[in-house]
Structure formats: C-alpha cells, structure tokens
Amino acid sequence: MELLSFEKLRSLWEFKLVFSLFLGFIIGLEREIKAKFGQDLFAGIRTFPLIAVLGTITGLLCIWLGSIIPFAITFSGVIVLVTASYLKDKSYGITTEVAVLITFLIGYLVAHEHYHMATFITITTAFLLVLKKKLEGLTQKLDEEDILAVLKFVALLGVIYPLLPNEEVFPGFNPSEVWLFVIIVSAIDFVGYFLLKYKGDRSILLMGLVGGLVSSTAVTLAFSELSRKFKGYTHVLFFSIMLSWSLMLVRVSVYAFILYPEALPVLVILFTPYLLVLFSYGFAVYRKGKISGEIREKLELVEPFTLTQALIFGVIYAGISVASYYLKSFLGDKGLLIVSLVSGIIDVDAISLFLLNALKKNEVELWTTLLGLLLAVSSNNVFKSVYGIIFGNKEFKKHFSLILLLTLLYTLLSLLFLSSVKDHT
C-alpha cells in the first residue's frame, strides 16, 4: 500500500484533527506537570488537546460555511470560560488561561493548513511555559540598564537596519552591509552580557570564557590589572585570559561557518594547534593553585553592550572597507594584507567579517582571506601579550613573554603551512 505524502494528507480533515490533537497534547503535558507541583489548573493533558481540536473544528466549519460566524461564537465562548476560571482563583495568575486561548487559535490555524506556523507557536508557547520559573528568576537580576540594553539591540536590528540603503554610497562603503555586521557582533556582545548576568560572577573562569564573546582584549587588560592587586591568584586570572583568547579563535571560525563554510576546514587546521597550546599552557598554570572566592566578590560586571561600542565598530568596519578598496586598487592583495595586519591590532571581528564577506562575493581569493585572518589574529594576540607584560604582575610578565614567543613561532609556522596550501591549489 502506497503511503500518502504530506501534501496529500494536509488537506484531509481527519489529519487536521489528529495534528491539532498532538499540538494540544504538547502544551497540555507541560501544564499537567506543573499541576504535580501543587498548582491548581483548570486545564491539563486532556483539556488542551480537546481545545485544540475545538479550534480545528471551528476552522473547518468556517471553511465549509464560508463564514466567520462559527469562529466568533466559539472563540467568545472560550474567552468566557477562561475568564470565569481566572475570576474563580486569581492567585495563580493568568498563564494557563492565555495558553488555552493560544491553543484554540493553534487548532484554528491547523484547519486552514498553516502547519508550520501552528507548530512554531506550539513549540514557542511550550518553551515559555517550561522556562517560566527560570525567566522569573532572570527578571530578579535585571535592572533598568538591562532593559535599555534590550531596547538598544532592538533599535540596531529593527529600527536602524531597515532604513539604511543597500548599495555603495561611496567606493567600498555599503551602509546596510556595514550595519549588518554591526548587528552580528552586537548580538554576540548582547548574548555574552546576559549570560554573565544570568550566571552571575560565581566563577572567574566563566567570566573569562564568556568575556571572550565580548572582547578578549578587554579581558586581558582587566585581568592583567587585577593580577597586580591579587598576586596570589595569578593562575586563575591567566587561565581565564587564555580561555578568552581561545574563544576568540572559535568566534572567527563561527564567522567563517556563517559566511563561507568552505574556508572552515582550513581554519580548523590553522587554529587548532594554537588553541590547544593556549589552553594547555593556561591550564598548566591554573593547576598550580585553586580558585579563590575573594576575587569573585571584588569583581563587578560591567555592561559590555552599548550603542557607542556598536557605532565604534561600525566606523572601524567602514574604515577598513574603504581603506581596503583603495589599497587593493593600488597594491592588489598586498594592500588587503596590510589592512589585516594593522586592523587586527584594534579589532579582529571587523577585519574577519570583511575578509570573509569579500571572499563570499569572490572579490578575494581563499588564500588571501586565510592569510589575512592569520595576520589579524596574530597581531591582535601579539599586542595583547604586550598588554599583559606591561600591566600584569611579575608572573604575568613571565607567562606573557613566553606566550608572545609562542605566538610569533605559531605565525611563522602557519605562514609556511599556508604557502604549502597555496602551492598545492
């Protein structure tokens, strides 16, 4: 017997009823589990599937009769039902009642064959219900600055970006393209900030690791200065810095995966040995001591995401884009590599995104992009090593002097590796 395809099943009323029953069951299951913890719910694992089916039947009647009247009558009845339930006992809030209304509408969407939308709403609703306690716990840690951070990010994404022209208004300068990469980096900062805020400062290592999402340079500067104040905890601070450096390499690799996946295998080969050296050396230093709670109490979490930072990044990226256009025009790929070396001192993200986007557009060769990324990462880590030597304590000076030598050696070996790759392509 030949199995029916989804395209054939989606129009059958029997399939619609079963599908809505399943979606209602997902939400009802979560509500039923909540009831086990003492919450008195008027709808659970049996009621929610039935409400979804009611929504589907209502939608089918609207289709067959060619009228919206069945929806108006039935949905009004459901509203009366949930209102009566809420007025009966207001102590538990209105979450379940709202979930009932959403479940009815999910069933109605299924009747009109909006399966993807119905499934997406079901999963989103279930997630919100499951994470209710965690979200409530998160709100206890948020303040006005956090709300402002959310609004700033929404402004970057939903207000400014759609207004920018998606064309070159100046040689090498496309406002929409520049702002898109501002959004990408800001999103990483945004997530890093709230991850730190949610987890708290219970671990210096966590702060170093997540700080690598925001700025490994900032982590290096901050922890190098702390090493002078807390000389007994050099091992913790140094390992945290190495974690942030390692995450920077991962971040660049993620950019490659998003923009030009074909470059990722070579980048993995290129970065993995250096990442292992950084992690291994940092871990070896860390093993000499143990984490102290004293530092954790003295460290303060500073919001890493601001509109000023986003604008500065945008200016840097735009500057790199314009400079690269003219240098490439006069010097070819050599000019682009000069930009990579210099801009890496300031910011790795901007030049990395620019090179990968140029590669995606076939404006540069793969070898040039890989070499540019290597120069940007290496110059950034060389100068961070110098920061550690200047601002750190005596132990930091010793460790970062060795890291500086290892970075220079790694760069030399990587150049030889890339040359061999170029010769065989």
Helix, strand, coil % over all residues of the chain, rounded to 5:
80, 0, 20
**Which is nearest to 351 in space by CA: 328, 382, 375?**
375
The DSSP result for 68-103, as a single string, is: SHHHHHHHHHHHHHHHHHHHH--TT-SHHHHHHHHH
Q: What is the pLDDT of residue 299?
A: 44
Average pLDDT over every residue of 133-158: 70
Cβ pair 213, 247 in contact under 8 A: yes
Write out pLDDT tens, residues 232-245: 778 888 888 899 89
Q: What angle do CA 321, 167, 307 make, to 5 degrees?
A: 60
Q: Indicate if the alpha-carbon torsion angle 320, 323, 326, 331 is positive or negative.
A: negative
Angle between helices 204-214 and 175-199 (to 10 degrees): 170
Q: Is 36:57 a contact under the CB 8 Å cutoff?
A: no
| CB 339, CB 323: distance < 8 Å | yes
What percentage of the chain reaches a pLDDT higher than 70?
71
**Which has the higher per-residue pLDDT, 105 or 145?**
105
What does pLDDT average to over the chain?
78
Q: What is the mean pLDDT of residues 19-36?
A: 82
pLDDT score of 97 more than 90? no
CA distance 385 to 408: 11
Q: Which pLDDT value is given to residue 387?
A: 81
Q: Which H/E stretch holds residue 105?
A: helix 95-111
- The burial of 414, by beta-carbon neighbours within 10 Å (0-12 exposed, 13-18 middle, 19 or more buried), is given as buried
- Would you place residue 103 in the very low, low, confident or very high pLDDT band (cuts 50, 70, 90)? very high
Query: What pLDDT, on the 0 to 100 scale, is given for residue 293?
Result: 42
Residues β-bridged to residue 170 = 173
Q: Greater confidence, 322 or 90?
A: 322
pLDDT at position 193 over 80: no
**Contact in structure between 45 and 21 (CB atoms under 8 Å):** no
Mean pLDDT across 199-218? 66
Residue 298 pLDDT: 44
Q: What is the pLDDT of residues 164-175, one digit of tens each?
A: 888 877 776 778
pLDDT for the residue numbered 297: 40
* Both tokens assigned to 424: 């065989």
Q: CA 224 to CA 217: how far, in whole Å? A: 11
N residues, the chain: 425
**H/E stretch holding 307:** helix 307-331
Q: Which residue has the tokens 């029997």?
A: 14
Which pLDDT score, from 0 to 100, does residue 300 have? 47
113: CB partners within 8 A, 6+ apart: 10, 11, 16
Give the pLDDT confidence score for residue 260 in this predicted structure.
Answer: 87
Q: How many CA atoms lie within 13 A of 366 on its CB side?
A: 17
CB atoms within 10 A of CB 69: 10
CA angle 61, 20, 76 (to 5 degrees): 50
Closest by alpha carbon to 52, among 152, 122, 131, 129?
122
Higher pLDDT, 297 or 158: 158
**Average pLDDT for 188-195:** 57
The confidence band for 11, taking pLDDT boundaries of 50, 70 and 90, is confident
pLDDT of residue 109 exceeding 80: yes
**Among 363, 358, 370, 353, which residue's Cα sits nearest to residue 419?**
370
DSSP for 218-273, please give it. HHHHHHHHHHHH-GGGHHHHHHHHHHHHHHHHHHHHHHHHHH-GGGHHHHHHHHHH
The predicted model scores a pTM of 0.52
Mean pLDDT calculated for residue range 174-189: 69
Residue 332 DSSP SS3? coil
User: Average of pLDDT values for 178-192?
Assistant: 64
Per-residue pLDDT tens over the stretch 356-414: 888 888 888 888 888 888 888 898 898 889 888 988 888 889 999 999 999 999 999 98
pLDDT at 295 over 50: no
Is residue 138 scored above 80 in pLDDT? no
**Number of Cβ within a 10 Å radius of residue 170:** 11
pLDDT of residue 112: 92
**Is 70 exceeded by the pLDDT of residue 266?**
yes
Render pLDDT for 44-75 as a digit per residue (tens, 0 to 9): 778 889 999 999 999 999 999 998 999 999 99
- Whether 1 has a pLDDT exceeding 50, the answer reads no
CA distance 405 to 416: 17
* Per-residue pLDDT at 4 exceeds 60: no
pLDDT band for position 158 (cuts 50, 70, 90):
confident
Q: Is residue 255 scored above 80 in pLDDT?
A: yes
The helix/strand/coil state of 209 is helix
C-alpha distances out from residue 212 to 150, 220, 304, 424, Å = 20, 10, 11, 35
